[in-house]
Structure 1
Protein backbone atom coordinates (compact mmCIF):
# COMPACT_ATOMS: atom_id res chain seq x y z
CA UNK A 1 0.00 0.00 0.00
CA UNK A 2 1.44 3.36 -1.01
CA UNK A 3 1.78 5.93 1.77
CA UNK A 4 1.33 9.64 1.13
CA UNK A 5 4.50 11.53 2.01
CA UNK A 6 4.11 13.72 5.08
CA UNK A 7 4.87 16.96 3.28
CA UNK A 8 2.23 16.17 0.66
CA UNK A 9 -0.51 15.74 3.26
CA UNK A 10 -3.33 18.24 3.61
CA UNK A 11 -5.47 18.67 6.69
CA UNK A 12 -9.12 19.64 6.97
CA UNK A 13 -10.21 22.44 9.27
CA UNK A 14 -12.12 20.86 12.15
CA UNK A 15 -15.12 23.01 13.08
CA UNK A 16 -16.36 21.13 16.16
CA UNK A 17 -14.27 21.60 19.32
CA UNK A 18 -16.37 18.83 20.85
CA UNK A 19 -14.14 16.39 18.96
CA UNK A 20 -11.06 17.51 20.92
CA UNK A 21 -11.51 15.04 23.81
CA UNK A 22 -11.35 12.13 21.35
CA UNK A 23 -8.26 13.56 19.67
CA UNK A 24 -6.63 14.08 23.07
CA UNK A 25 -7.41 10.43 23.84
CA UNK A 26 -5.56 9.43 20.67
CA UNK A 27 -2.59 11.57 21.74
CA UNK A 28 -2.63 10.00 25.23
CA UNK A 29 -2.48 6.54 23.72
CA UNK A 30 0.48 7.02 21.42
CA UNK A 31 3.20 6.11 23.97
CA UNK A 32 1.35 2.90 24.86
CA UNK A 33 0.90 2.04 21.19
CA UNK A 34 4.62 2.58 20.58
CA UNK A 35 5.47 0.28 23.49
CA UNK A 36 3.03 -2.36 22.23
CA UNK A 37 4.42 -2.27 18.69
CA UNK A 38 8.11 -2.49 19.61
CA UNK A 39 7.92 -4.31 22.95
CA UNK A 40 9.46 -7.62 21.92
CA UNK A 41 11.54 -6.55 18.94
CA UNK A 42 15.17 -7.55 18.65
CA UNK A 43 17.73 -4.80 19.22
CA UNK A 44 19.13 -5.27 15.72
CA UNK A 45 15.71 -4.63 14.20
CA UNK A 46 15.26 -1.49 16.31
CA UNK A 47 18.39 0.04 14.77
CA UNK A 48 17.99 -1.30 11.22
CA UNK A 49 18.06 1.44 8.57
CA UNK A 50 15.43 0.02 6.20
CA UNK A 51 15.48 1.41 2.66
CA UNK A 52 17.84 4.19 3.80
CA UNK A 53 15.17 5.64 6.08
CA UNK A 54 15.16 6.12 9.82
CA UNK A 55 15.43 3.13 12.09
CA UNK A 56 12.60 2.28 14.49
CA UNK A 57 14.53 3.91 17.34
CA UNK A 58 15.00 7.04 15.23
CA UNK A 59 11.27 7.12 14.43
CA UNK A 60 10.47 6.91 18.15
CA UNK A 61 13.13 9.45 19.03
CA UNK A 62 11.69 11.78 16.39
CA UNK A 63 8.29 11.68 18.10
CA UNK A 64 9.97 12.92 21.27
CA UNK A 65 12.04 15.45 19.34
CA UNK A 66 8.83 17.03 18.03
CA UNK A 67 7.11 17.48 21.39
CA UNK A 68 8.70 20.89 22.13
CA UNK A 69 7.35 22.15 18.79
CA UNK A 70 3.81 20.97 19.57
CA UNK A 71 3.96 22.54 23.02
CA UNK A 72 5.39 25.75 21.58
CA UNK A 73 2.72 25.95 18.91
CA UNK A 74 0.09 25.53 21.61
CA UNK A 75 1.68 28.49 23.41
CA UNK A 76 1.65 30.46 20.14
CA UNK A 77 -2.10 29.95 19.84
CA UNK A 78 -2.79 30.74 23.49
CA UNK A 79 -0.71 33.95 23.29
CA UNK A 80 -2.49 35.14 20.15
CA UNK A 81 0.39 34.84 17.68
CA UNK A 82 -0.74 35.28 14.07
CA UNK A 83 1.52 32.48 12.79
CA UNK A 84 2.68 29.28 14.45
CA UNK A 85 6.39 28.83 15.00
CA UNK A 86 8.27 27.23 12.13
CA UNK A 87 9.36 23.60 12.28
CA UNK A 88 12.84 22.50 11.26
CA UNK A 89 11.78 20.76 8.06
CA UNK A 90 15.21 19.11 7.73
CA UNK A 91 14.71 17.35 11.12
CA UNK A 92 18.25 18.20 12.23
CA UNK A 93 17.43 17.43 15.87
CA UNK A 94 16.57 13.85 14.97
CA UNK A 95 19.49 13.44 12.57
CA UNK A 96 21.94 14.73 15.20
CA UNK A 97 20.50 12.92 18.22
CA UNK A 98 21.98 9.46 17.61
CA UNK A 99 18.81 7.80 18.91
CA UNK A 100 20.20 4.39 17.92
CA UNK A 101 22.73 4.72 20.75
CA UNK A 102 20.06 5.62 23.30
CA UNK A 103 18.47 2.81 25.31
CA UNK A 104 14.98 2.06 24.03
CA UNK A 105 13.52 2.40 27.52
CA UNK A 106 14.96 5.92 27.74
CA UNK A 107 13.44 6.93 24.38
CA UNK A 108 10.07 5.53 25.44
CA UNK A 109 10.12 7.17 28.87
CA UNK A 110 11.23 10.53 27.46
CA UNK A 111 8.44 10.48 24.89
CA UNK A 112 5.84 9.40 27.47
CA UNK A 113 6.81 12.23 29.84
CA UNK A 114 6.80 14.83 27.08
CA UNK A 115 3.47 13.63 25.72
CA UNK A 116 1.88 13.63 29.17
CA UNK A 117 2.95 17.26 29.60
CA UNK A 118 1.52 18.18 26.18
CA UNK A 119 -1.80 16.45 26.91
CA UNK A 120 -1.99 18.15 30.31
CA UNK A 121 -1.44 21.51 28.61
CA UNK A 122 -4.17 20.82 26.04
CA UNK A 123 -6.61 19.60 28.68
CA UNK A 124 -6.20 22.77 30.74
CA UNK A 125 -7.18 25.19 27.95
CA UNK A 126 -10.31 27.30 28.20
CA UNK A 127 -13.09 27.45 25.62
CA UNK A 128 -11.88 30.94 24.69
CA UNK A 129 -8.34 29.68 24.08
CA UNK A 130 -9.69 26.88 21.90
CA UNK A 131 -11.14 29.48 19.52
CA UNK A 132 -7.86 31.29 18.83
CA UNK A 133 -6.39 30.85 15.35
CA UNK A 134 -2.90 31.13 13.86
CA UNK A 135 -1.53 30.36 10.42
CA UNK A 136 0.40 27.14 9.96
CA UNK A 137 3.69 28.32 8.36
CA UNK A 138 4.10 25.51 5.82
CA UNK A 139 0.49 24.65 5.03
CA UNK A 140 -0.62 28.31 4.99
CA UNK A 141 -3.92 27.31 6.57
CA UNK A 142 -5.42 28.67 9.79
CA UNK A 143 -5.28 26.31 12.74
CA UNK A 144 -6.92 26.24 16.13
CA UNK A 145 -5.91 23.98 19.03
CA UNK A 146 -8.13 21.18 17.73
CA UNK A 147 -6.48 21.38 14.30
CA UNK A 148 -3.03 21.29 15.89
CA UNK A 149 -4.00 18.31 18.07
CA UNK A 150 -5.31 16.44 15.02
CA UNK A 151 -2.13 17.31 13.10
CA UNK A 152 -0.01 15.89 15.93
CA UNK A 153 -2.11 12.71 16.13
CA UNK A 154 -1.76 12.22 12.38
CA UNK A 155 2.00 12.86 12.65
CA UNK A 156 2.21 10.17 15.35
CA UNK A 157 0.34 7.70 13.16
CA UNK A 158 2.45 8.57 10.13
CA UNK A 159 5.58 7.53 12.02
CA UNK A 160 3.98 4.49 13.68
CA UNK A 161 2.89 3.24 10.27
CA UNK A 162 6.49 3.63 9.11
CA UNK A 163 7.63 1.51 12.08
CA UNK A 164 5.19 -1.19 10.99
CA UNK A 165 6.63 -1.08 7.45
CA UNK A 166 10.11 -1.76 8.86
CA UNK A 167 8.77 -4.65 10.95
CA UNK A 168 6.75 -6.11 8.07
CA UNK A 169 9.70 -5.86 5.66
CA UNK A 170 11.89 -7.67 8.17
CA UNK A 171 9.32 -10.43 8.75
CA UNK A 172 8.87 -10.96 5.00
CA UNK A 173 12.62 -11.39 4.50
CA UNK A 174 13.19 -13.75 7.46
Structure 2
Protein backbone atom coordinates (compact mmCIF):
# COMPACT_ATOMS: atom_id res chain seq x y z
CA UNK A 1 0.00 0.00 0.00
CA UNK A 2 1.20 3.49 -0.79
CA UNK A 3 0.99 6.00 2.07
CA UNK A 4 -0.68 9.36 1.54
CA UNK A 5 2.52 11.23 2.49
CA UNK A 6 4.36 9.50 -0.36
CA UNK A 7 1.49 10.17 -2.75
CA UNK A 8 1.56 13.89 -1.88
CA UNK A 9 5.34 14.13 -2.29
CA UNK A 10 5.21 12.32 -5.64
CA UNK A 11 2.57 14.75 -6.80
CA UNK A 12 3.90 18.05 -5.49
CA UNK A 13 7.38 17.97 -3.95
CA UNK A 14 9.09 19.14 -7.16
CA UNK A 15 6.95 22.29 -7.09
CA UNK A 16 9.22 23.62 -4.32
CA UNK A 17 11.90 24.47 -6.90
CA UNK A 18 10.21 27.56 -8.35
CA UNK A 19 9.56 29.38 -5.05
CA UNK A 20 13.14 28.64 -3.95
CA UNK A 21 14.74 30.12 -7.08
CA UNK A 22 12.13 32.72 -8.07
CA UNK A 23 14.20 35.75 -7.06
CA UNK A 24 17.38 34.58 -8.81
CA UNK A 25 18.51 35.70 -12.23
CA UNK A 26 20.00 33.34 -14.80
CA UNK A 27 23.57 34.27 -13.88
CA UNK A 28 22.92 33.30 -10.25
CA UNK A 29 21.21 30.04 -11.28
CA UNK A 30 24.19 29.13 -13.47
CA UNK A 31 26.78 30.21 -10.86
CA UNK A 32 28.94 27.53 -9.21
CA UNK A 33 28.65 28.53 -5.56
CA UNK A 34 31.29 25.92 -4.68
CA UNK A 35 34.02 25.34 -7.22
CA UNK A 36 33.77 21.85 -8.70
CA UNK A 37 30.18 21.34 -7.49
CA UNK A 38 26.99 21.63 -9.48
CA UNK A 39 25.24 24.95 -9.98
CA UNK A 40 21.55 25.33 -9.19
CA UNK A 41 20.85 24.86 -12.90
CA UNK A 42 22.83 21.61 -12.96
CA UNK A 43 20.99 20.39 -9.85
CA UNK A 44 17.69 21.02 -11.66
CA UNK A 45 19.02 19.37 -14.84
CA UNK A 46 19.92 16.30 -12.77
CA UNK A 47 16.42 16.15 -11.28
CA UNK A 48 14.89 16.50 -14.74
CA UNK A 49 17.17 13.86 -16.28
CA UNK A 50 16.68 11.33 -13.50
CA UNK A 51 12.89 11.29 -13.85
CA UNK A 52 12.90 9.37 -17.20
CA UNK A 53 15.46 7.00 -15.67
CA UNK A 54 13.08 6.38 -12.77
CA UNK A 55 10.11 5.88 -15.12
CA UNK A 56 12.15 3.34 -17.08
CA UNK A 57 13.10 1.49 -13.89
CA UNK A 58 9.50 1.26 -12.70
CA UNK A 59 8.40 -0.04 -16.10
CA UNK A 60 11.16 -2.68 -16.05
CA UNK A 61 10.13 -3.75 -12.55
CA UNK A 62 6.56 -4.18 -13.83
CA UNK A 63 7.70 -6.22 -16.85
CA UNK A 64 10.56 -8.29 -15.41
CA UNK A 65 11.17 -10.34 -12.28
CA UNK A 66 13.66 -8.59 -9.99
CA UNK A 67 15.59 -6.59 -12.58
CA UNK A 68 18.97 -5.40 -11.34
CA UNK A 69 19.95 -1.79 -11.83
CA UNK A 70 23.30 -0.07 -11.77
CA UNK A 71 23.76 2.92 -9.53
CA UNK A 72 22.76 6.03 -11.51
CA UNK A 73 25.49 8.60 -12.03
CA UNK A 74 24.81 11.82 -13.94
CA UNK A 75 28.50 12.08 -14.79
CA UNK A 76 28.27 8.77 -16.65
CA UNK A 77 25.05 9.71 -18.44
CA UNK A 78 25.61 11.44 -21.78
CA UNK A 79 22.05 12.73 -21.57
CA UNK A 80 22.91 14.82 -18.53
CA UNK A 81 24.94 17.26 -20.63
CA UNK A 82 22.03 17.52 -23.06
CA UNK A 83 19.71 18.41 -20.19
CA UNK A 84 22.22 20.99 -18.91
CA UNK A 85 21.89 22.76 -22.28
CA UNK A 86 18.16 23.39 -21.72
CA UNK A 87 17.03 26.59 -20.04
CA UNK A 88 15.93 26.35 -16.43
CA UNK A 89 12.39 27.11 -17.54
CA UNK A 90 12.49 24.21 -20.04
CA UNK A 91 13.82 21.90 -17.33
CA UNK A 92 11.01 22.85 -14.97
CA UNK A 93 8.46 22.11 -17.70
CA UNK A 94 10.12 18.70 -18.29
CA UNK A 95 10.03 17.97 -14.57
CA UNK A 96 6.31 18.82 -14.42
CA UNK A 97 5.48 16.69 -17.46
CA UNK A 98 7.47 13.66 -16.32
CA UNK A 99 6.23 13.98 -12.76
CA UNK A 100 2.67 13.60 -13.96
CA UNK A 101 3.72 10.37 -15.68
CA UNK A 102 5.44 9.14 -12.51
CA UNK A 103 2.50 10.07 -10.32
CA UNK A 104 -0.03 8.34 -12.56
CA UNK A 105 2.21 5.31 -13.07
CA UNK A 106 2.85 4.66 -9.38
CA UNK A 107 -0.40 5.76 -7.72
CA UNK A 108 -2.65 3.79 -10.05
CA UNK A 109 -0.93 0.45 -9.49
CA UNK A 110 -2.74 -2.35 -7.71
CA UNK A 111 -1.26 -3.59 -4.40
CA UNK A 112 0.21 -6.69 -6.07
CA UNK A 113 1.98 -4.50 -8.66
CA UNK A 114 3.30 -2.20 -5.92
CA UNK A 115 4.91 -5.28 -4.33
CA UNK A 116 6.99 -6.03 -7.46
CA UNK A 117 10.68 -5.58 -6.84
CA UNK A 118 13.87 -4.44 -8.50
CA UNK A 119 17.39 -4.65 -7.13
CA UNK A 120 19.33 -1.51 -6.23
CA UNK A 121 23.13 -2.05 -6.06
CA UNK A 122 23.42 -0.50 -2.58
CA UNK A 123 20.01 -0.99 -0.99
CA UNK A 124 19.15 -4.41 -2.40
CA UNK A 125 15.68 -5.57 -3.31
CA UNK A 126 13.13 -2.74 -3.17
CA UNK A 127 9.46 -2.87 -4.05
CA UNK A 128 7.88 -0.07 -6.09
CA UNK A 129 6.74 1.80 -2.98
CA UNK A 130 10.31 1.71 -1.64
CA UNK A 131 11.74 2.77 -5.02
CA UNK A 132 9.28 5.69 -4.99
CA UNK A 133 10.30 6.65 -1.45
CA UNK A 134 13.95 6.51 -2.51
CA UNK A 135 13.09 8.71 -5.51
CA UNK A 136 11.43 11.48 -3.48
CA UNK A 137 14.13 11.39 -0.78
CA UNK A 138 16.81 11.72 -3.46
CA UNK A 139 14.91 14.65 -4.93
CA UNK A 140 14.55 16.24 -1.48
CA UNK A 141 18.32 16.05 -1.03
CA UNK A 142 18.78 18.10 -4.21
CA UNK A 143 16.01 20.54 -3.26
CA UNK A 144 17.84 21.18 0.00
CA UNK A 145 21.10 21.72 -1.89
CA UNK A 146 19.33 24.23 -4.16
CA UNK A 147 17.88 25.98 -1.10
CA UNK A 148 21.32 26.17 0.51
CA UNK A 149 22.96 27.57 -2.63
CA UNK A 150 20.18 30.13 -3.06
CA UNK A 151 20.68 31.43 0.44
CA UNK A 152 24.47 31.33 0.23
CA UNK A 153 24.31 33.88 -2.61
CA UNK A 154 22.24 36.43 -0.66
Q: Distance in 2 between matches of 1:34 and 1:84?
A: 31
Q: Distance in 1 between matches of 2:6 and 2:26?
A: 32
List runs of 5+ in structure 1 lacking aligned partners.
1-16
Report the Cα distance in structure 2 between the residues aligned to 1:68 and 1:142, rounded to whole angstroms: 21
1:10-159 pair list within 5 angstroms: 17-19=1-3, 21-51=4-34, 52-89=36-73, 90-93=75-78, 95-97=80-82, 99=84, 101-136=85-120, 138-159=121-142
Root-mean-square deviation (CA), in Å?
Answer: 1.8
What stretches of structure 2 of length at least 5 have no aligned partner? none
Tell me by how many angstroms 1:167 deviates.
Answer: 1.3
TM-score (normalised: structure 1):
0.79
Alpha-carbon deviation of 1:53?
A: 0.9
CA 1:91–1:119 in 2, change beyond 3 Å: closer, same or farther?
farther
Q: How much has 1:140 moved relative to structure 2?
A: 4.5
CA distance in 1, matches of 2:41, 2:47: 10
TM-score for both structures, normalised by structure 2: 0.88
Q: How many residues align?
A: 152
Displaced runs of 4+ in structure 1, greater than 4 A? none
Cα gap change, 1:91 to 1:27, in 2 (>3 Å): farther
Q: Deviations over 1:106-127 (max 9, x none)?
A: 1110111011111111122111
| 1:107-164, Cα deviation, whole Å (9 max, x unpaired) | 110111011111111122111101122221x215110011001000011111111111
